[in-house]
């Protein structure tokens, strides 16, 4: 089974359970970086959320200020998101298959979603994001902090789940190679069911003008 199928089938089975689990663990980091987008982007901004899930962890709050397009690979999650946040636009798709015209969005958010893709696809996706963003546009994303070529955890919240990511330095370089300027890139560690888990939280901006 391909990585994308593992992720889609997994979240189709645990859509509600994932929300409950996330809330139980605590959403401090998610909330802190969501606040970055809420503070930096103007009201009415066009925002793309990659890996929106059922819409109740971030999309509902984004939709109070922005024009939101949410994307998720899980059909069940998208069905629930359309119910939970009817004012937003939702697309059921693998984010690697997306294509938007250049300069479509003022912001792109990807919380805990890029690490579900094979890491060979991270660079191409970031380059797409760099094109989709308008000059001055913002990327806020969760990426890996250590190297993981590709792994299936057989029992993650009761389902098999795929994870893959580069180390932190490689991820910073990939963001910059995609034409974005790093505003911050911090490794944040939290407890996940009794064990520490570290992600790299990236905030980046598309320059308003090409360097002279």
Q: Helix axis angle, 3-25 relative to 75-84, nearest 10°?
A: 40
pLDDT at position 195 is 84
Q: What is the mean pLDDT of residues 150-167?
A: 96
Q: What is the mean pLDDT of residues 171-196?
A: 94
Q: What is the mean pLDDT of residues 28-45?
A: 96
Q: What is the mean pLDDT of residues 100-124?
A: 98
pLDDT of residue 182 exceeding 80, the answer is yes
Average pLDDT of every residue of the chain: 96
CATH level 3 topology of 3-205? Rossmann fold (3.40.50)
pLDDT at position 97 is 96
Beta-sheet strand order (sheet of 195-205): 89-92, 67-72, 46-50, 105-110, 133-144, 195-205, 181-192
pLDDT at position 191 is 84
The whole-model pTM stands at 0.96
pLDDT at position 1 is 82
Instruction: Give 210's pLDDT tier (boundaries 50, 70, 90).
Output: low
């Amino acid at each position: 089974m391909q990585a994308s199928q593992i992720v889609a089938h997994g979240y189709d089975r645990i859509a509600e359970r994932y929300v409950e689990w996330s809330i139980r663990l605590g959403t401090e980091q998610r909330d802190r970086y969501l606040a970055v987008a809420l503070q930096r982007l103007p009201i009415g901004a066009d925002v793309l959320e990659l890996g929106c899930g059922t819409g109740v962890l971030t999309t509902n709050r984004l939709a109070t200020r922005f024009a939101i397009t949410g994307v998720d690979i899980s059909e069940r999650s998208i069905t629930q998101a359309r119910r939970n946040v009817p004012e937003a636009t939702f697309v059921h798709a693998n984010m690697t298959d997306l294509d938007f015209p250049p300069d479509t969005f003022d912001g792109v958010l990807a919380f805990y979603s890029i690490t579900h893709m094979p890491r060979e696809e991270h660079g191409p996706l970031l380059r797409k994001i760099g094109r989709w963003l308008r000059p001055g546009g913002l990327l806020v994303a969760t990426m890996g902090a250590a190297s993981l070529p590709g792994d299936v955890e057989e029992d993650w919240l009761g389902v098999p789940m795929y994870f893959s990511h580069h180390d932190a330095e490689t991820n910073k370089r990939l963001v910059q190679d995609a034409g974005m300027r790093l505003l911050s890139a911090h490794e944040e560690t939290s407890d996940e069911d009794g064990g520490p888990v570290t992600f790299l939280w990236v905030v980046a901006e598309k320059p308003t003008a090409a360097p002279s």
